[in-house]
Amino acid sequence: MLNAPEPSATGRHLTAALVLVVALVLQVSVANRLPLPGGVTPDLVLLTVVALALVYGSLTGVVVGFCAGLASDIIPPADHTIGRYALVYCLIGYLCGMAATEMDRRSVVPFVAVAVGALAGTLLYAITGMLLGDPRASWTIVARMVPLQVFYDVVASPFVVWAVLRVTRRYERADKGARHDRFTLPAAKYRAMSSRGTGL
């Protein structure tokens, strides 16, 4: 690779950016058009932010969350106040990044983090809407949507987290070429745990 001298910084940024763009496009052109019962769809971007934050830690989580949120705010069908998703995803990225350090100790953490992240993200977004007097975020709509949304997010989370891990792992393998490196990062630990933790 071109960025051989500094693989962990540039490479991870590129990977994160790529994963985010793919998640965004999949979100608007596939996920949002699925005719799922209840008219609600899983928030792939939120799940991607959570997964990236768990892999790379809170600093990357914050930055990734902000960028993903800003992109969600301006990607074509978006029609809400710019900055709402940026704020929400930024906070979620931070919170889940904090959980990344806990992950070394407990294998349940990633699953709890995804569920909590989904709940907190959906709620926070609804609250910003209410604060701004958005007619779409009226209580009746929020009360019906949030539980379903969280449910779908939790259902979709293993797939998204798995995909993000696959991509980041491939990058690391290609970059370092050595297998023993995988266990030096907390991220690698998470991978090892998550692959074995599915049975719990």
- Judged by CB under 8 A, how many residues of this single chain contact other proteins? 64
DSSP-derived 3-state class of residue 50: helix
The correct pick among 15, 48, 72, 107 for binding other proteins (CB under 8 A) is 72
| Alpha-carbon span 150 to 198, nearest angstrom | 20
Half-sphere exposure (CA, 13 Å, Cβ side) for 77?
A: 7
177 binds other proteins (CB under 8 A): no
54-62, 104-112, 163-171, 190-198 -> range binding other proteins (CB under 8 A)? 54-62
Half-sphere exposure (CA, 13 Å, Cβ side) for 27?
A: 25
Instruction: Give 187's contacts (C-beta < 8 A, 6+ positions apart).
Output: 54, 55, 56, 100, 168
Q: Which of residues 74 and 178 has its CB atom nearest to other proteins in the complex?
A: 74
| Alpha-carbon span 62 to 96, nearest angstrom | 9
Tell me which residue has tokens 């051989």: 4
Are 191 and 35 a contacting pair, CB within 8 Å?
A: no
11-19, 67-75, 106-114, 154-162 -> range binding other proteins (CB under 8 A)? 67-75
Tell me which residue has tokens 């074995």: 196
132 binds other proteins (CB under 8 A): yes
The correct pick among 11, 110, 117, 129 for binding other proteins (CB under 8 A) is 129
80-88, 110-118, 164-172, 191-199 -> range binding other proteins (CB under 8 A)? 80-88
Where do contacts with other proteins occur on this chain (CB under 8 A)?
A: 21, 24-30, 32-35, 38-41, 43, 45, 57-59, 62-63, 66, 69-87, 90-91, 94, 97, 100-101, 125-126, 128-129, 132, 134-138, 140-142, 144-145
